[in-house]
A and B are shown apart, each in its own frame.
Chain A
Amino acid sequence: KAGVTQTPRYLIKTRGQQVTLSCSPISGHRSVSWYQQTPGQGLQFLFEYFSETQRNKGNFPGRFSGRQFSNSRSEMNVSTLELGDSALYLCASSKDAYNEQFFGPGTRLTVL
């Protein structure tokens, strides 16, 4: 069974731009969660989608948004990029609540 895939793996953007990251979950998994990983703040939860609905949301500004498609693939968008948005963005999929999450390799975003 194929694992969680994320594209692109690396991105370089400048301040003020916007970016879209993509995540394809493991086949049969309906829940997709997104996390931000930085050296200073560690791993922080962004949001979770299940059956195209946002079910949980972390403490991030409205510039961070996401969506999920009918095939469970998910995208997250960050608008008006700031230097502090530079991070590794990880996507994780699971069958449903209280099931273990399987992580993708991440997208490393650098904002200049």
Chain B
Amino acid sequence: AQSVTQLDSQVPVFEEAPVELRCNYSSSVSVYLFWYVQYPNQGLQLLLKYLSGSTLVKGINGFEAEFNKSQTSFHLRKPSVHISDTAEYFCAVFEGQGAQKLVFGQGTRLTINP
């Protein structure tokens, strides 16, 4: 079974500083990876996805992630964060052949300080 590990439960950063949220997944033949963001009292919003092709994936709100097969990682980055980026971020992977089951990491709470 697939598993996802988000290495940091909380990440505090100052506004306009860069940030990296780390995600590792268990290896598999085919991997489909996602980052979602959850604002307070809301559902999940897709930030970006890796299905195939270029290992550098660009998403919404200035976020990007790099798929690294050898290190089984899919870290999320943003060069300059804003107060509005304060939220919980989830890394996820599809499990199984023909599956629609998403396996999520435990989440990383990103707090932006002014």
B42 at the interface (CB under 8 A from A): yes
CB pair A103 B106 closer than 8 Å? no
Q: Which of A50, A94, A98 contacts B51 (CB 8 A)?
A: A98
CB pair A48 B36 closer than 8 Å? no
- Shortest C-beta distance, A112 to chain B (Å), equals 20
> Known interface pairs A90-B43, A106-B43. Does A101 touch B99 (Cβ–Cβ under 8 Å)?
no
CB pair B100 A48 closer than 8 Å? yes
B55 at the interface (CB under 8 A from A): no
Q: Which of B43, B90, B99, B107 contacts A97 (CB 8 A)?
A: B99
Q: Interface extent on A, as a size class?
A: 20 to 34
CB pair B46 A102 closer than 8 Å? yes
Rounded to whole angstroms, the CA-CA distance of A50 and B45 in the bound complex is 22
Interface residues of A in 81-112 (CB under 8 A from B): 90, 92, 94, 96-98, 100-106
CB pair B42 A33 closer than 8 Å? no
Interface of A is mostly: strand
Interchain pairs with CB closer than 8 A, number: 58
CB pair B42 A105 closer than 8 Å? yes
CB pair A101 B45 closer than 8 Å? no
Q: Which of B43, B44, B100 contacts A94 (CB 8 A)?
A: B100
- Shortest C-beta distance, B67 to chain A (Å), equals 15
Interface of B is mostly: strand
Residues of B within 8 A of A101 (CB): 46, 100, 102
Rounded to whole angstroms, the CA-CA distance of A56 and B103 in the bound complex is 13
CB pair A103 B100 closer than 8 Å? no
- Shortest C-beta distance, B3 to chain A (Å), equals 12
Q: Which of B44, B90, B100 contacts A50 (CB 8 A)?
A: B100
CB pair A43 B100 closer than 8 Å? no
Interface residues of B (CB under 8 A from A): 32, 34, 36, 42-46, 49, 51, 90, 92, 94, 96, 98-107
Interface residues of A (CB under 8 A from B): 4, 31, 33, 35, 42-43, 45, 48, 50, 55-56, 58, 90, 92, 94, 96-98, 100-106
